[in-house]
Every structure is written in C-alpha cells, then in structure tokens.
Amino acid sequence: MNMKTLIIEDELPAANRLKNLLNSIDETIEILGVLPSIEKALDWFSNNAFPDFILMDIELSDGKCFEIFKQVKIPIPIIFTTAYDQYALKAIKLNALDYLLKPIDKGELADALKKIEKTAKPDLSANFSALVDLVNGIKPKKIAIKEASSTRFIDIESIVRLQADSNYTLLFLIDKTKIITPRTLKDYEDILSDLGFFRVHNAHLINLNFVEKYFKDSGTIEMSNGNTIEVSRNKKKELLLKLGIV
C-alpha cells in the first residue's frame, strides 16, 4: 500500500492495538504519529502535510474530535473509531463517512484500508463541515450519497420515499429522479427517522410531508409523485397519529 497515516486516539492501549493491527495488515504503512487530544492534533496539522488517511477516535482527552473540523479543513479520508455512540454514529452515517466500532476488528480495518486504496479520494471537507453542524444541533438539510468517484449531496426535503432492494436502497426524488445507493433501508431509517420520515412497511420509508392521500379500505397511501405505497398493518396506527388522522 505504501500509505502514510496518523492516529488520533487518547487511550494508549487502543492506539497500540491500532498500530499492531496496521503492521499485521501491511507493514509498509507508515504511522506518522499518535495524538491524544484536539490541541495536539491542531498543532500537528499546522506544521505537517496531510497523510493519506487518518484513524480518529471520537472521544479525545479534551473533547469530541469534531472540534478539529471547526479549525482545520481536512480533505482526506478519515476512519472514525468509537465505542457505540448512537448520536455520533448517526451524524457520521448521514454524511457518508466511514467508522469502525471498538474493539477494532482486523478484518474490518483491512476492508476499510482496501477501500481507501482502491477508490478515488474526493475532497471530504464538505462532509466534515456538515458533520460539525449536525453535532452542534443544526438540523441537516442534505444527506451525502457515495458514488464511484465522488459524493453527491441530496436535499433531504427533495426525497419523497425510499425503497429496499436487497442490500441496496432506491431513493425517489420529487423531480422524478431515482438514485440507487449501496446502503440498506435500515441505515436510512436510522438516519432519517427524526427528520420527518417514517417506515410504513419493511420495504418502504416515506417522507411524511409528501403523503397526499390515505386509503382506509386498502390500507395504502398515495405520495406526491403518484406512487401508491402499502402500509403494514402494525404500522397503521402510528402512521395515522403522525398524519394527524384520528
């Protein structure tokens, strides 16, 4: 691989594990340093060129790593490492960024490194900026969709509905555009459930703002784009409450 990396991690055992895993996966990867804090990271970035990628823990000794992005525009891939933090993971997923849950699995780390090496490396600074906004409580307006050599940002309000297609998801936009994404519908449910979306069926996640009609007899809804969606029986009551139908 012949890549250079930087580890930003405040727990020494975790940092040593990452170093050992990297060495066992590919001993040619050069580790430029291990930094335990936001302060140390900012100082390092002000005096050094960016490596090929960064392994970054979310919880550092002086705060959450997202503070770094407020002061430094980082254009390279970052693999976030974290113990389970539902809110942080939701922010990361929304912006199509990569993460590994602790304890780090060697196979998962190897897969992440292969993806970095083999795919194009778009400037991710916009993703990180949007991530900071979300963490600071600013309601997100866009969702990041990964494509072969770039990341597309889609207005969340333009998404009419999402439909499961095996391990992929189809996004249907108000302008009739259809986008295929390599993520499951469950991923999108986790990301969008607090943003006006509701899963009405195993195969369907809808934007409640685009519901035009509810048909009681058939248990279906009509969306603004003309699509008719089946509502699961066990979802009917909750949907009616969300739509204000009592």
Q: Which of 83, 104, 135 delimits the end of a domain? A: 135
pLDDT in tens, 85-130: 665 666 676 665 678 888 899 998 998 898 888 765 656 666 676 6
Rounded to an integer, what distance in angstroms lies between the CA atom of residue 214 and that of residue 206?
A: 13
Residue 94, domain CATH: 3.40.50.2300
Question: At residue 1, does pLDDT exceed 60?
Answer: no
Assess whether 229 and 186 both reside in one domain: yes
Q: Which residues pair with 173 in a beta bridge?
A: 159
Rounded to an integer, what distance in angstroms lies between the CA atom of residue 54 and that of residue 81?
A: 10
Domain assignment present for residue 141? The answer is: no
Q: Which of 79, 108, 135 delimits the end of a domain? A: 135
CA distance to 84, 86, 141, 196, per residue, from 154 (Å): 27, 23, 8, 15
What is the arithmetic mean of pLDDT over 40-58? 94
pLDDT in tens, 160-193: 999 999 889 999 999 999 999 888 999 899 888 8
Domain assignment present for residue 91? The answer is: yes
Assess whether 37 and 101 both reside in one domain: yes
Question: At residue 158, does pLDDT exceed 90?
Answer: yes
Give the number of domains in the chain.
Answer: 2
Domain assignment present for residue 191? The answer is: yes
**Phi, psi dihedrals of residue 15, rounded to the nearest 5°:** -65, -45
Rounded to an integer, what distance in angstroms lies between the CA atom of residue 37 and that of residue 41?
A: 6
Tell me which residue range forms the domain holding 111.
Answer: 4-135
Assess whether 21 and 95 both reside in one domain: yes
